[in-house]
């Protein structure tokens, strides 16, 4: 048996080539849209690709089934119930396909989608146990496929989750423990929430370690797999529909036309978007005004799909020689409207400085200063809700990047705006999109929320806190029971568990205290990012008592 796994890291995609050495017959499972690698490998290995098997209609990428069928004459195959605009063969549960010695068995595993299947692989028909199973988006390493992506076309997450519960238990966990597991996606995919970084596993290992496969009722499973999912990328619905349709084939060797700046300006006036794939640091120092920054060195296609509308014309700006890469990566999600590329944007802007734009970026410390200096500052958090649950900047509007285009009307383009994400990649895309849509003053946070969490927290000693000026407010962030057991005189109680910067009525500095200095350090960081001049009391009440400073007993 010949077995090849292909990994496409930028979309967290795995696809597969399986061939029989005795007959030269082969199949490809879940191919990416640019199919040259499968064709080249098949030729080198003496294989004939006779079938393309799709484990389901994918939403996160445009599959290469049509390209492979056109190149090889292969039959396109789906699970029972699949309907498409192009000729397909559908296979019922437990159908067996022989390549020669190698045998494949289809198992119906609905849940991520209704037509989802898994492919059990035997090296030889008479082997007592299967060699492996390709699980598509039904079972991942560490997770299962999310069941909530088809709500817009009439399926409920609850119904699909219940189907998924039965699929993994009746169709996959019944396989021998040693059966190798090969999923369609790995870590970083938005098709699940807890995907591992490994490229393969076994049924036994997943039964022991995968949270979704642990003993639990169907109700508990439904709760576990439907909660905490990220916001689906904006392009998912478009890609899922496109995978059911006849469409133009991709030529992955076609060059990208080069455009003059005058041609680009005309295209912009007609609604085209300039996507600048250079690193955010370079983009922020100078770019064509109106361009949106989505760095090629990140998850370019996924996030470009969040700032573009399907069918919208695209002009590319990249580092030299990367224009074709950018076009292919957009084509992988079905965005085929690249009309050309503007070369050497730096030289263009030197000749036409009137067309240049810059992107403001602020550090975590500078954001705290801005909060104090700009009372109407608008702060936008473009992370997913699950990320925001771990903490946000006080007063920030949580607006995940996939929702931004549809929710622009909730923001005021006249207000100064700061955007942040987890590390700075998505926020550069979001900030540049806002500027392109007419927002006047927009910056993003360099380093994102991770940098905000690392903001240096200034400290004062317990003696300095005790001798503080009367204008300095002392805030105790412990719980009420702790405060009642003993607190510093004049300290206001604002427990960290319910702390709101807006509740702190301070016109000057604020000293923050807790038991040992840990909770107060967190609270100080929260207050400083809200524009409050806060200082952590080192050592907390433990140090206060040890220093012999007076303590007041009783509730507030």
Domain boundary pick from 239, 270, 301: 239
96 and 220, same domain (yes or no): yes
From first to last of its 556 residues, the chain has per-residue pLDDT tens of 999 999 999 999 999 999 999 999 999 999 999 999 999 999 999 999 999 999 999 999 999 999 999 999 999 999 999 999 999 999 999 999 999 999 999 999 999 999 999 999 999 999 999 999 999 999 999 999 999 998 777 889 999 999 999 999 999 999 999 999 999 999 999 999 889 999 999 999 999 999 999 999 999 999 999 998 889 999 999 999 999 999 999 999 999 999 999 999 999 999 999 999 999 999 999 999 999 999 999 999 999 999 999 999 999 999 999 999 999 999 999 999 999 999 999 999 999 999 999 999 998 878 878 887 888 999 999 999 888 887 788 789 999 999 999 999 999 999 999 999 999 999 999 999 999 999 999 999 999 988 887 766 889 999 999 999 989 999 999 999 999 999 999 999 999 888 888 888 888 899 999 999 989 988 898 888 778 889 999 999 999 999 999 999 998 7
Report the number of distinct structural domains present in the chain: 4
Identify whether 555 is part of a domain: no
- Strands 13-19, 25-29: pairing is antiparallel
Identify whether 551 is part of a domain: no
CATH number at residue 212: 3.60.15.10
Identify whether 556 is part of a domain: no
328 and 437, same domain (yes or no): no
CATH number at residue 291: 3.40.250.10
CB neighbour list of residue 437: distance below 8 Å, 6 or more residues apart: 408, 413
Alpha carbon distance 201, 187 (integer Å): 14
553 near 484, Cβ under 8 Å? Answer: yes
Instruction: Determine the structural domain holding residue 42 and report its residue range.
Output: 2-239
317 and 466, same domain (yes or no): no
Which strand ranges, in their side-by-side order, compose the sheet holding 338-342?
258-259, 338-342, 314-317, 273-276, 292-293
Identify whether 249 is part of a domain: no
Task: Assign residue 446 a region (left: φ > 0; alpha: ψ between -120 and 50; beta: otherwise).
Answer: beta
User: How many Cβ atoms are within 10 Å of 96's Cβ, its own excluded?
Assistant: 12
pLDDT of residue 234: 93
Alpha carbon distance 458, 464 (integer Å): 13
195 and 137, same domain (yes or no): yes
Identify whether 248 is part of a domain: no
194 and 278, same domain (yes or no): no
443 and 511, same domain (yes or no): no
């Amino acid at each position: 048996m010949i077995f090849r796994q292909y990994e496409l890291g930028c979309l967290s995609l795995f696809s597969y080539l399986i061939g029989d050495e005795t007959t030269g017959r082969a199949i490809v499972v879940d191919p990416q849209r640019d199919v040259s690698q499968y064709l080249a490998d098949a030729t080198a290995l003496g294989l004939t690709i006779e079938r393309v098997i799709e484990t389901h209609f994918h939403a996160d990428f445009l599959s290469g089934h049509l390209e492979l069928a056109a190149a090889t004459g292969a039959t396109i195959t789906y699970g029972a119930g699949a309907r498409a605009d192009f000729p397909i063969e559908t296979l019922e549960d437990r159908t067996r396909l022989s390549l020669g010695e190698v045998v494949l068995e289809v198992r119906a595993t609905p849940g991520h989608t209704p037509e989802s299947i898994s492919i059990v692989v035997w090296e030889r028909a008479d082997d007592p146990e299967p060699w492996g199973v390709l699980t598509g988006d039904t079972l991942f390493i560490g997770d299962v496929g999310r069941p909530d992506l088809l709500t817009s076309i009439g399926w409920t997450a609850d119904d699909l989750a219940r189907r998924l519960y039965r699929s993994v238990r009746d169709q996959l966990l019944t396989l021998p423990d040693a059966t190798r597991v090969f999923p369609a996606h790995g870590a970083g995919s938005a098709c699940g929430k807890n995907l591992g970084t490994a490229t393969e596993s076994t049924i036994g290992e997943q039964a022991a370690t995968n949270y979704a496969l642990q003993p639990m009722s169907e109700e508990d499973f439904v709760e576990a797999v439907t909660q905490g999912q990220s916001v689906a990328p904006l392009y998912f619905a478009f890609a899922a529909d496109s995978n059911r349709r006849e469409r133009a084939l991709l030529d992955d060797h076609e060059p990208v036309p080069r455009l003059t700046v005058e041609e680009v300006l005309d295209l912009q006036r007609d609604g085209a978007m300039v996507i600048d794939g250079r690193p955010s640091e370079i983009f922020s120092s100078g770019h064509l005004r109106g361009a949106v920054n989505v760095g090629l060195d990140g998850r370019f296609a996924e996030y470009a799909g969040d700032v573009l509308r399907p069918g919208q014309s695209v002009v590319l700006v990249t580092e030299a020689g990367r224009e074709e890469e950018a076009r292919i990566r957009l084509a992988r999600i079905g965005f085929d409207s690249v009309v050309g590329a503007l070369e050497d944007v730096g030289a263009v802007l030197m000749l036409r400085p009137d067309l240049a734009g810059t992107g403001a970026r602020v550090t975590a410390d500078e954001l705290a200063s801005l909060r104090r200096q700009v009372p109407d500052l608008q702060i936008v958090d473009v992370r997913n809700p699950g990320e925001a649950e771990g903490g946000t900047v006080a007063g920030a509007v949580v607006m995940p990047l996939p929702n931004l285009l549809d929710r622009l009307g909730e923001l005021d383009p006249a207000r100064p705006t700061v955007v942040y994400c987890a590390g700075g990649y998505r926020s550069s895309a979001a900030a540049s999109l806002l500027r392109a849509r007419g927002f006047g003053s927009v910056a993003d946070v360099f380093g994102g929320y991770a940098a905000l969490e690392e903001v240096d927290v200034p400290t004062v000693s317990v003696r300095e806190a005790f001798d503080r000026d009367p204008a300095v407010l002392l805030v105790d962030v412990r719980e009420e029971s702790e405060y009642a057991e003993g607190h510093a005189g004049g300290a206001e109680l604002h427990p960290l568990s319910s702390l709101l910067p807006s509740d702190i009525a301070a016109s000057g500095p604020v000293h923050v205290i807790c038991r040992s200095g840990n909770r107060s350090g967190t609270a100080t960081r929260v207050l400083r990012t809200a524009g409050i001049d806060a200082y952590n009391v080192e050592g907390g009440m433990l140090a206060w008592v040890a220093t012999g400073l007076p303590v007041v007993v009783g509730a507030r």
